[in-house]
A and B are shown apart, each in its own frame.
Chain A
């Protein structure tokens, strides 16, 4: 630092603290609402300190869910988890394989394959959502985990990241492994993948969050309660008149939907930041 002034330093803390208050306040309010009864929340102004109904509300949200929904938060959590893990693991596995082929093998159409994957970077799923829906429904995959996961597994980002990493692996390692008599798949499984664990962890964090937070896609293809994810459940609970909404259950479910991805970011912050800024290149 070049200048030292007390006021300047105070203002730095002030702005950062203010930003954190603005970030935390909406979430604090959700927590508060999840500890009161619906009547308390509906009586304006709503209380801004936690109430005594925490255990009761969360038990109900997890066990049965709101009356107009027909799905418990526990079921929806399971669905969100299956979708998030399926998307994250699926993307990582197929991208590792494809990047391995593209970097370590010479074969006809190699650059054709590379560019076909590359162009998928350009079109987020949102802009081709309707035709993708039609394909999935023609395949009979609506209301199924496969239907939730497979179309989201397209990922140019992961192929890029792994390709970039593979290109920095010294060729001598591959040569040595071949001289030792190991086949290409043994080299891949026993040497290359273990070497790649840092980029894999980074990719996992980002894709897990991406998968957990999917909204438009599950909204289209899940019509049965059995396959609702948390975010879809929250939307359905809120789509009635204000007075009929069981706010305390909605808010408890919202908090439950926030916790897993936040935990992943906080616990794996280093990998997360690395993964984000590495994919930029």
Chain B
């Protein structure tokens, strides 16, 4: 049985289009220093560093942990670099937790980042490869047909995605770290925004951000001595499946369903909508909220959009299961960090430390990330109590 572990410190940077005032090293260090300060610890208290980010081509630095060790106070310690595509922020947190849950380390630092402004992310994703038709118009071009198939199957009204786009931006306006600050956003504004990849509009897509997120994860003994409330890791799971195979269910991937079942089982959750108080779910395009509501078992198949439309996932409408109170990926998207932000924001909620976007009395929260062609999944459940 795994040893208990808990998040005892969280640090984030402000998310924005371009952090011209810091280097890549400066960016990761800022998040790490914030996490240490939150935990009231120093660099000497850290036994290992686990770093995550999306493809190296986003910044043009090959295996950047080699260069970032100095900035992350890791010299003389173990450094591990995780890369599982878009889910990497979540996977990195899970791998970091396993350092402690295995009993191998007492306290580790984990950091995930992306400094998209250093390069051109769309170019990195669309670099031409000979021999294949070069039609990759960024991630939106890949996911739009899948969203269209969801709309066809579920018969959901056309404005579900618009509603999610508004809801998450209103949440983001409560979070000073969120990249997009749109407190006055309206359904009309989203609907009239430019149609990028039909059916995905500009305002139904995530921004491109610079940013980093860090957490300190400690074992039971050290977490017990932590000055602030720990967020206990109650379950963590990962699943992968191939990008393409005949008969693959792309709208509600099996890997997502299996991963959720695994993490719920570990955390003793039988009905996620009832048992969880809040969830931070990776929704880079608005329609993925209803799709993941179904995939993760918050709603029966074909009915996820009803929760969205009823306001069940909205903090502002006093929904029973707020999704992405931080504003989510739709408000800030430093790709490699986005998954870790979901995990960290779930932890903030159960620590009662989420300030203006706090879900009142949250005791059990879920963090979720996915990547690749919606084929890599990482999820965790954190609680205010050990069990």
A, B in one complex: no
B interface, CB within 8 angstroms of A: none
